[in-house]
A = this chain, B = another copy of it.
């Protein structure tokens, strides 16, 4: 039996990131079924010609259309085309922009996202990413003094992806791996403990992850690295340090990066309601 095929066509005047996230969130609700999903994308669409080509292709593919366009002319064209051709269309931005017009009594600038990136926020994000890479894995203890957030954790507690995810939200993050024999840099004791997060995990999960890792290296999975005794020692060392530092502790077992990050921002009081800080 061949799988059913559902095509989704994303049209954006920028990179189409938001529309892609929406599509994936919806698709995730159907992934246990024998359905094949194909995602098509026309990005940086800024002319009627480019838009018409994209819509023709979407029609040809019998695709669902998700569009995130800013230009009034392009939005109108896409809507009319889809209406006339009975194409499913989601336009999640227009209702928001229209409601903002009602509330502000102002007209939207109608500047596509793609031509609208050279903001201080953008450059801060780029710096935060470079910071996270520079001060990953305890590479330079000076980073602790400059960081907004310091992540501590034993091996396989998602320190690096978590640092990068938080960097993408403009926070300067440094991280330090903890092993019992490791030297704890003196800078750590100079930092406000309210900036420090201690990551832990469940011993059984760590054991499985580490065995898997050894297997992926083509090695015997039952090494000292994966042994339960080693893991318990490491976790004890980490938990003792967290207690001494009096820092926030999070068990990342069963938590996605997004979820752990949300807890960190909330618990460290870094959630910022202001769009411009």
Contacts and interface: CB of A to CB of B under 8 A. Distances in A.
B111 A28 contact: yes
A243 interface: no
A72 to B, nearest CB: 11
A18 B15 contact: no
A48 interface: no
A161 B173 CA distance: 15
A126 interface: yes
A66 interface: yes
A270 interface: no
Given A160-B129, A160-B133, A106 B30 contact: yes
A6 interface: yes
Nearest to A37: B275
Given A104-B6, A256-B122, A262-B44, A29 B133 contact: no
Contacts of A97: 26, 29
Contact of A100 (B6, B44, B117, B126): B6
A18 B2 CA distance: 32
A96 B129 contact: no
Interface residues of A, number: 78
B113 A25 contact: yes
Interface string A75-110: 000000000000010101101110110011010111
Interface of A: 4, 6, 14-18, 21-33, 35-41, 43-44, 64, 66, 68, 70, 88, 90, 92-93, 95-97, 99-100, 103-104, 106, 108-111, 113-114, 116-117, 122, 125-126, 129-130, 133, 136-137, 158, 160-161, 164, 167-168, 256-259, 261-262, 271, 273-276
